[in-house]
Structure 1
């Protein structure tokens, strides 16, 4: 059974996180104070001897994401974990698919996550996630920003200016920044670099609409295939700055799975596809970092 967390089950999520990730109490105090919210947390409860036990959970943290000159709401997957004794039973997969429904209901068109290690990327690929962010790009030096700023507000403005001018990146609020600084202080402000991340289309039409508005000169027809989110299976025609659904039998120029679509929409190495799409989908440098990873 899957339910959202509440005040009676929050501690079970905390305990599960501690068991699986082994983070320090200091870090977890910051995270569960600043980032955790019941309404963003899905839990899978396994029934054992007429009792329910929380065995798997994930969190969908809301952020804004700069996307083709504007901002869209996204969900950042955090704290995906399953107790060791409950693994390989499909619990996390069920949570992920449930989260797609919740995001769609809430008008969130894109999901992003940062896998802890490359070995788990294969697991996420089966749910339509694909790499859209590379690791290793330099990020602002928090220690330097803090030391050169008169107060936290001024420090945030400096920090924010780096990300605000970029396309295809997660934007942070002043509250996000405060948590980032507090977490960094625990580890003596380590030098940070961008993270390897993956993305998943939740609502193809909404993302294509933003793209079409930004590039009104673009005229293409594309058939999208999505084995998990039915509404994305459609033919879309983009012209004159708008997107519209078309006859499913229409002959189209491009046939795309949603994993390829999200790479193209985020401008991730679009010139390296078998077909060079960069003349349609401009190549960009998606970047993600400072996610309290």
Structure 2
């Protein structure tokens, strides 16, 4: 019953094809991840899902809750319904021991909206542009385009996973999701471009056609030569003379991509302390939406405890703490920069 109601709301709110809607609700929708706001007549007027994704954090991984398909019926907007639903989602995720939530705003104005809910911009990318590339000279490279899930081997996923895990503070994808990503590319006329050197996988690019160019949603490669071969493969198999690539942020002309929010401050600071046992720090954190997070945290000797009697060294909003923990431009916080390693958080291939 609930799935059908959420699907109908999705059709009203989003401009997706029926093929994609059926695909999403078949492959990604899970009842335990869905939250629905019902009106007095029992109709679903707002909904969202919180599918779980691993994310690299220091030397370990954490589980994150991704806000997907957040929507409100047009006749029920501007009543604070989504705000109530998001706050409920915060506590549901906290109850499931999920310390961080992520999302990709569907429109520019939503950065401000989610910012007021405690989210902070942390995921950027750099957009690279390429025009006609010559066929690579090296004979030992072989390129193929994969459009069918049945052709995805363990070797392909293992290469993808190993390269993704090298990225710090990067949202990860499990095997099942890897297959969903490739199926989504196929539906959009795209493909997974794979580069081999002899029999070894040395690079890949997830590409889809746009109006007058191809867009590489993400890619990984063993060398710059392999990257160029992969881009040539994109041009060949997607019949494109022009390519745009989303790559890890370079610090120059970066574009915003997504946001994150710490849901459980103590849990995240404890993980930070474990990763940085040499650091001693006392922080006061304020969270307007999850009051349980507001407090004074004492970090030292690989542990973190809450002690509201301690002398504070720095005061942070939950948004600022999120940015520091994920290493997003710590230079913007000069007093705290020595405590937090600079990083380039990254999110990709989310079916957004």
Query: TM-score of the superposition, structure 2-length normalised?
Result: 0.75
The list of structure 1 runs, each at least 4 consecutive aligned residues, that deviate by more than 4 angstroms after superposition, is none
CA contact (8 A) 1:30 1:182 kept: no
Structure 1 vs Structure 2 CA RMSD:
1.8
- Deviation of 1:137 after TM superposition, in Å, equals 5.8
Instruction: Say if 2:323 is the partner of 1:263.
Output: yes
Secondary structure class of the residue paired with 2:38 = strand
**Residue 10 of structure 1: aligned partner:** 3
CA contact (8 A) 1:270 1:282 kept: yes
Secondary structure class of the residue paired with 2:339 = coil
**Residue 341 of structure 2: aligned partner:** 282
Instruction: Say if 2:122 is the partner of 1:132.
Output: yes
Residues 158, 188 of structure 1: alpha-carbon distance in 2 compared, 3 angstrom cutoff? farther
- Deviation of 1:28 after TM superposition, in Å, equals 1.5
Q: How many angstroms apart in 1 are the aligned matches of 2:156 and 2:127?
A: 21
Which structure: larger Rg?
2
Secondary structure class of the residue paired with 1:169 = coil
CA contact (8 A) 1:212 1:241 kept: yes
Q: How many angstroms apart in 1 are the aligned matches of 2:97 and 2:7?
A: 28
Instruction: Say if 2:189 is the partner of 1:196.
Output: no
Q: How many residues align?
A: 276
Q: How many angstroms apart in 2 are the aligned matches of 1:105 and 1:66?
A: 21
Instruction: Say if 2:313 is the partner of 1:253.
Output: yes
- Deviation of 1:276 after TM superposition, in Å, equals 4.7
**Residue 270 of structure 2: aligned partner:** 209
2:299 pairs with one of 224, 231, 238: 238
Structure 2: state its 5+ residue gaps.
129-142, 191-207, 209-215, 218-245, 248-255
Instruction: Say if 2:100 is the partner of 1:40.
Output: no
- Deviation of 1:161 after TM superposition, in Å, equals 2.1
Instruction: Say if 2:142 is the partner of 1:82.
Output: no
Q: How many angstroms apart in 2 are the aligned matches of 1:237 and 1:137?
A: 40
- Deviation of 1:215 after TM superposition, in Å, equals 0.8
CA contact (8 A) 2:152 2:179 kept: no
Residues 150, 57 of structure 1: alpha-carbon distance in 2 compared, 3 angstrom cutoff? closer
Q: How many angstroms apart in 2 are the aligned matches of 1:244 and 1:137?
A: 41
2:87 pairs with one of 97, 100, 110: 97
Q: Counting strand residues as a fraction of each chain, which structure ranks higher?
A: 2
